[in-house]
Chains A and B, each alone.
Chain A
Amino acid sequence: MISSLENQNRPARAEGYNFAYLDEQTKRMIRRGLLKAVAIPGYQVPFGGREMPLPYGWGTGGIQVTAAVLGEDDVLKVIDQGADDTTNAVSIRRFFSTTAGVQTTERTGEATIIQTRHRIPEAELKKGQIMVFQVPIPEPLRFIEPSETETKTMHALNDYGVMHVKLYEDIAKYGHIATAYAYPVLVDDRYVMDPSPIPKFDNPKLDMSPALMLFGAGREKRLYAVPPYTRVSSLDFDDHPFEVQKWEQSCAICGSDHSYLDEIIVDDQGTRQFVCSDTDYCSQQVARQEKQ
C-alpha cells in the first residue's frame, strides 16, 4: 500500500480510454482465465486475447495480464532483460502510466506488480508481489511437435516422452542438456511448462516462490500461472542433474559474483566486460557499498 500523499503524486491518466486501456468486460474475461490458471498450475488456459496498441511479440500478453490485475494503488515495475531503462520496458511503463496513471518504480522491493521480459529480478520476491511474464511461445513442446492438436493431447495424457527423449538426445550428443534459456520445468508434479525465455539461471527462483507468477502470451492467446509456494522443478536426469550458469568474472560495476551477468564489448579489439543484467540490483549493491 502507498500513502495518500504519494497518491497525489501519481501521473495524470489519459482520457478517452478505460483505466489501463482494456474495457472492464475484457479484464473480467482475463481474470477468469487467470483464476483458472492459478487453480491448475502450469496449465495453458486459452483466452480471448485482444489486439493491443503495441505489436504482437512485444509483450501484448504480459500487458493484458498487467492491465487485468492492475489497481489504482499498485506500484508497477517493468523490466526487459533485467533492466528498467531498455527501450521496450520504458515504452510499456509509459503505456501504463498514461492509461492507468499508476505509480511506477525501478525498485524491485517497492513494486506490487513486476512485468518482465526474459528475467526474474535478483532480489528475493515477497509475499503479495505479482510477477507478470511476457511469453512468446507458451507451448514447451512446440519445437518438438508443431501441431497444437497433438501437444494438447500430450499434456492431457501427461505424456512427456518426446521431451525426455529430446533432453536425452542432447546428453548423448553434447554430454549435457543444450538448452540455456526457456528451459522446461515441471509444475506441481503435473504440467510441463515453458518458464518463458528466462535464462535457466532464473529457473530456481520459480520454485516455492512467495510471489504469484502469471504468464501471458498475447499472439498465441494463452495464460498460465504458478501460484505462490508451488513446486517448480527443472527437467533433468538423476545422473545429469540440472545446474545453472556460472561466471568466472564478477560485475564490473558492483562486483557481484552471484548475479546474472551480461557481456558487453567495450572496444574495437573485442575486450569484454561483464555487468549485472538486473540494473536495480546492481545500483542497490553500489549504494550499499558506498554507505559502508
Chain B
Amino acid sequence: MYVAVKGGEKAIDHAHYLLAKKRRGSTDIPELEVAQIREQMSLAVARVMTEGSLYDEELAALAIKQSAGDLLEAIFLLRAYRTTLPRFTESVPLQTGEMQMERRISATYKDLPGGQLLGPTFDYTHRLLDFTLLAEGQALPEPSQEPLQAEPCPRVLELLEKEGLMRVEKNSQADVPDITREPLDFPTNRTQRLQALARGDEGFMMALAYSTQRGYGRNHPFAGEIRIGFTEVWIEPEELDFAVPLGDIEVTECEMVTQFIGSKTEPAQFTRGYGLAFGYNERKAMSMALVDRALCAGELGEEIISPAQQEEFVLMHCDNVEAAGFVSHLKLPHYVDFQSELELIRKMHAQDEQISEEYSIQEKQA
C-alpha cells in the first residue's frame, strides 16, 4: 500500500551513518590523518584549493578526508565554507616575476635568463607502477646532486613585450569585480572570465583547451612559460598607505603565446593566454591559459565559431560545483512533473488512436 514515500527523516539519518561507515572503511586499518593527506597528496590538495577558491592546505586536506577522496565533493565542502568567510580586502597583484621557483620551463627558447628548471615533474617518468611503494617505509632516493634553486627572474613574455612583438595588456585601473559576489553579466570582461576559469573544472577546461588544438577555435599556442613556486601575497590595509606582506602561497602560472594576424588598428603580433592555479597544478594552468586566449576572440575581432570561444557556453558550464549539483538534482523526486508528462503522453496516444479509428471508418465507407 501507500508506504513507499514515507520515512524520509529516518532514511536520512541512516544514510548519514552508512556514509560515515563507508568513509572510514575497515577499522583494522589505521585512520588517515589530515596531515598525511596534506603532505602526501599535495596535488589533490592543490586541485581542491584551486577549484574551491580558498588557499588553505589544512582545510582542503580535511575536505578530502571528509569526502572519502571524492575531489569534487571536497571542492564543494571548501566552497561552502569559503562563502561564510568575511571579505575584508583584496590583495595587491601577485608579483610572480619575483617568485621563488621550484620549476620553470619555456618551450619557446632553448635557453633564457634564469634558465630552464625541471623541478619535480611527472613529465619524464615512465608510467610504470612502482611496486616498491607497496612496501611501507620507503626511503627517499639519494639526490644525484645538490638541488638547484632558480634565481628570481623576469617572465619570458616580458622579453617579447619589450621587443614590441607581444600585445601589451593594459591595466584598466578599474575596480576588480568579484564573481562570487556579483553574478556574471554578459558580455563579460577578461577579469571576470579569468576568475571563472580559475575556479573552473580542470577536466572541462582541459577538454575545451584540447578542442582548440584540434581545430575548434583555431589558435596555435606555444607554452611561453610555466613557472611553479612560492610568491608573496601583499595587501594594502585601508588605514595604511603602504602594502604589507601577508605570507607566501604556492602557485602555478602559465603564459601561452599565440599568433594574432592583426586588425585594422593593431599590427600582427603575439597574444597571451593566461592561467594561474593554487599549488602545483600544471594541467589546470595550461588548460586555463588556452581557454582564456580562445575567449579573447571577441575582443581581437576573430570569428567566434567554436565552443571554447563562446563565453556564455564556457563560463556558464565550467563550474563543477554548479554542474555537479544540477546533474545530481535529477536524483530528487520528480513525481509531480513526471505525472504531468504521463498524462500528456497518454492524451496524445488517445488522440492518435481516435484519429486512426476515424480514418479506418472513412476508408471502409469509401
| Residues of A that sit less than 8 Å from B by CB | 17, 21, 23, 46-53, 55-58, 60, 80-83, 85-91, 94, 117-119, 136, 146-149, 174-176, 178, 180-182, 197-201, 219, 221-222, 245, 252-253, 260-264, 266, 273, 275, 277
Contacts and interface: CB of A to CB of B under 8 A. Distances in A.
A277 B329 contact: no
A245 B343 CA distance: 8
B186 A181 contact: no
Interface in B291-347: 312, 316, 321-322, 324-329, 332-337, 339-344, 347
A118 B337 contact: yes
Contact of A261 (B8, B316, B339): B339
Given A55-B328, A85-B7, A252-B2, 13 more contacts: A56-B325, A81-B335, A85-B5, A86-B5, A87-B332, A89-B8, A118-B336, A174-B348, A181-B341, A219-B322, A261-B339, A262-B336, A263-B339
Given A180-B337, A200-B340, A85 B9 contact: yes
B120 interface: no
Contact of A46 (B1, B185, B335, B347): B185
A151 to B, nearest CB: 11
Contact of A199 (B4, B76, B340): B340
Contacts of B335: 81, 262, 277
B342 A263 contact: yes
B82 interface: yes
Given A118-B337, A174-B348, A48 B182 contact: yes
A81 B326 contact: no
Interface string B78-120: 0110111010000000000000000000000000000000000
Contacts of B351: 174-175
B181 interface: yes
A199 B2 contact: no
24 contacts: A51-B79, A51-B321, A52-B80, A53-B80, A55-B328, A56-B326, A56-B329, A57-B332, A80-B332, A82-B336, A86-B8, A87-B11, A88-B332, A118-B334, A148-B186, A149-B187, A149-B312, A180-B344, A181-B337, A182-B337, A219-B322, A245-B343, A253-B2, A277-B339
B133 interface: no
A55 B344 CA distance: 31
A145 B4 CA distance: 39
Interface of B: 1-2, 4-9, 11-12, 76, 79-80, 82-84, 86, 180-187, 312, 316, 321-322, 324-329, 332-337, 339-344, 347-348, 351
Contacts of A178: 344, 348
Contacts of B12: 87, 90-91, 94
Nearest to B351: A175
B325 A85 contact: no
A123 to B, nearest CB: 17
A175 to B, nearest CB: 6
Contacts of B321: 51, 55-56
A135 to B, nearest CB: 12
Contacts of B182: 48
B79 to A, nearest CB: 5
Q: Which 9 A-B pairs have the closest CB atoms?
A: A56-B325, A57-B329, A180-B340, A55-B325, A221-B183, A57-B326, A53-B80, A51-B83, A90-B8
Contact of A80 (B322, B326, B333, B339): B333
A201 B83 CA distance: 38
A258 to B, nearest CB: 15
B321 to A, nearest CB: 6
Residue of B1, B5, B80, B327 with most chain A CB atoms under a 10 A cut-off:
B5
Given A86-B5, A275-B2, A262 B325 contact: no
B76 A55 contact: yes
A264 B333 contact: no
